[in-house]
Amino acid sequence: MLDKDVAKAITDAVDAAFDDQIRFTQDMVRIPSLRGQEHTMQDFMADAMAKRGFDVDHWRINVDDIKDMPGFAPVAISYENSFNVVGTYRPKTRKGRSLIFNGHVDVVPTGPWERWTTPPFEPRIEGKWMYGRGAGDMKAGLAGTLFAFDAVRAAGFMPTAPIHFQSVVEEECTGNGTLACLQRGYRADCAFVPEPLEPKLMRAEVGLIWFRVHVDGDPQHASAGFNNVGANAIEKALSLWPHIKALEDVWNARKVDHPVYKDHPHPIRVNLGEISGGEWTSSVPATATLNVRVGVLPGAKLADIRNEIEACIRKAALSDPYLSNNPPRVEYHGHMAEGYVLENAAVPEAVLADSHYAVFDQKLEDVVTSAATDARFFGLYQNTPGLVYGPICERPHGFDERVDLESVRAVTKTMALFLAEWCGVERG
């Protein structure tokens, strides 16, 4: 455990720079880093890391480099503007344990701007809250990693182990950004992901599968005045949805046998996220597509879940005379993620617990989530503990997303103390 005077010097340094940290986070939110548009945000992050004296690795993700790795998710877009940035701090003398801070810059779409109180990429501060798309999920946490390091330095100390600050893309849709960091060779004794799951330790997360259901209709004149009504692809596609949604109950029923999720009220969600189809109001639609996201309990085999999805859709199609002769097609794109349970992490957990207690004067609690994070890559594919702990965020992916700035301040202090204790520090 850190000396109390050292800890106080570090946490005081967080307070002293917190106004700068807020302004930095606002600058991040102002950059609309939607999928495929993250390059400007990553230029910003590369510059911030270079100013801190880190060795900066800034590269475009190449699908061919990662497509055969465990954890890869199928890609349906160009990676022309998909860049990762890793800034590495290397100590003059190495004594402590190495660390990865990992966070994502990609944000989800905003929906109609008129439904936001203020524009989503104009960060607004009201009371203790900062509003804006990505403010909570997860730019505030990512900014906090840099300012946690700054606080250690401002307090007069130098970490005595390597630290890799990973700013990645694709977390919201594939995880391929963090996977590319693994392919690049970055490893450490512990990884820390400040996702906004409240200042609690994430004990487990679900896996995810994204898939599309494509339905072909029989296009005809909508009046049926030419002796043929056709087959409406949109209506046929929607007839499949209740059968797909019913899988949610099937999969949630299995939680009773799961050692971690048995007490979670509803871990598995089946979400119809997008519908597309048709091209003319007076024509029977020729095509329709359902885009679906499903959760997966840790330990379940993704191949088995895919088989259940496909069998469900086949069975539903057979109950319809048209679809039985024109079967829907299932396409996988985006997330193909296994669930993750934090295990064999007693030592970093103890360090986080000490750091949390020093800031909050309360015992560290843990949480089991029905969401997914990039921590799985470290735990599942590098045998590295992947800790998830971050600030309070409300309405992530929704209108008026906001992050609690006082929780950001406290989490930054916790991360700074964790960094100092885990990596070790010396006067410098």
**Conformation bin of residue 309: beta by default, left when phi > 0, alpha when psi is -120 to 50:** alpha
Q: What kind of architecture, by CATH, is found in domain 208-337?
A: 2-Layer Sandwich (3.30)
Cβ contact 44:31 at 8 Å: yes
pLDDT at site 137: 98
Q: Give exposure, 45-65, as e/b (b: 16+ Cβ within 10 Å).
A: bbebbeeeebebbbeebeeee
pLDDT at site 224: 81
Tell me the sheet residues that pair with 214: 289, 329
pLDDT tens digit string along 394-410? 999 999 999 999 999 99
As a whole number of angstroms, the distance between CA 4 and CA 357 comes to 12
pLDDT by residue, tens only, the chain of 428 residues: 899 999 999 999 999 999 999 999 999 999 999 999 999 999 999 999 999 999 999 999 999 999 999 999 999 899 999 999 999 999 998 999 999 999 999 999 999 999 999 999 999 999 999 999 999 999 999 999 999 999 999 999 999 999 999 999 999 999 999 999 999 999 999 999 999 999 999 999 999 999 999 999 999 999 886 767 789 999 999 999 999 999 999 999 999 999 999 999 999 999 999 999 999 999 999 999 999 999 999 999 999 999 999 999 999 999 999 999 999 999 999 999 999 999 999 999 999 999 999 999 999 999 999 999 999 999 999 999 999 999 999 999 999 999 999 999 999 999 999 999 999 999 98
Domains of the chain, by residue range, sit at 4-205+339-427, 208-337
pLDDT at site 240: 98
CATH of domain 4-205+339-427: 3.40.630.10
As a whole number of angstroms, the distance between CA 271 and CA 96 comes to 44
As a whole number of angstroms, the distance between CA 175 and CA 82 comes to 12
| CA max distance for the chain | 87
Q: Which helix (H) or strand (E) segment is 160 a member of? A: none
**Conformation bin of residue 134: beta by default, left when phi > 0, alpha when psi is -120 to 50:** left
Q: Is the peptide bond before 138 cis (omega within 30 degrees of 0)?
A: yes
Look at the block and give the residue holding tokens 């990973």.
Answer: 166
pLDDT at site 320: 97
Q: How many degrees, rounded to 5, is the angle at CA 108 between CA 143 and CA 30? A: 45
Indicate the pTM of the whole model: 0.97
As a whole number of angstroms, the distance between CA 206 and CA 198 comes to 17
pLDDT at site 56: 98
pLDDT at site 214: 98
Crossing angle between the packed helical segments 405-423 and 346-360, to the nearest 10 degrees: 130
Q: Would strands 83-89 and 55-60 be described as parallel, antiparallel, or unpaired?
A: antiparallel
As a whole number of angstroms, the distance between CA 330 and CA 326 comes to 13
pLDDT at site 226: 75
Q: Which helix (H) or strand (E) segment is 242 a member of? A: helix 233-245
- Give whole-number Cα distances, 308 to 4, 31, 115, 254, 312, in Å: 55, 40, 38, 14, 6
pLDDT at site 229: 76
Tell me the sheet residues that pair with 283: 221
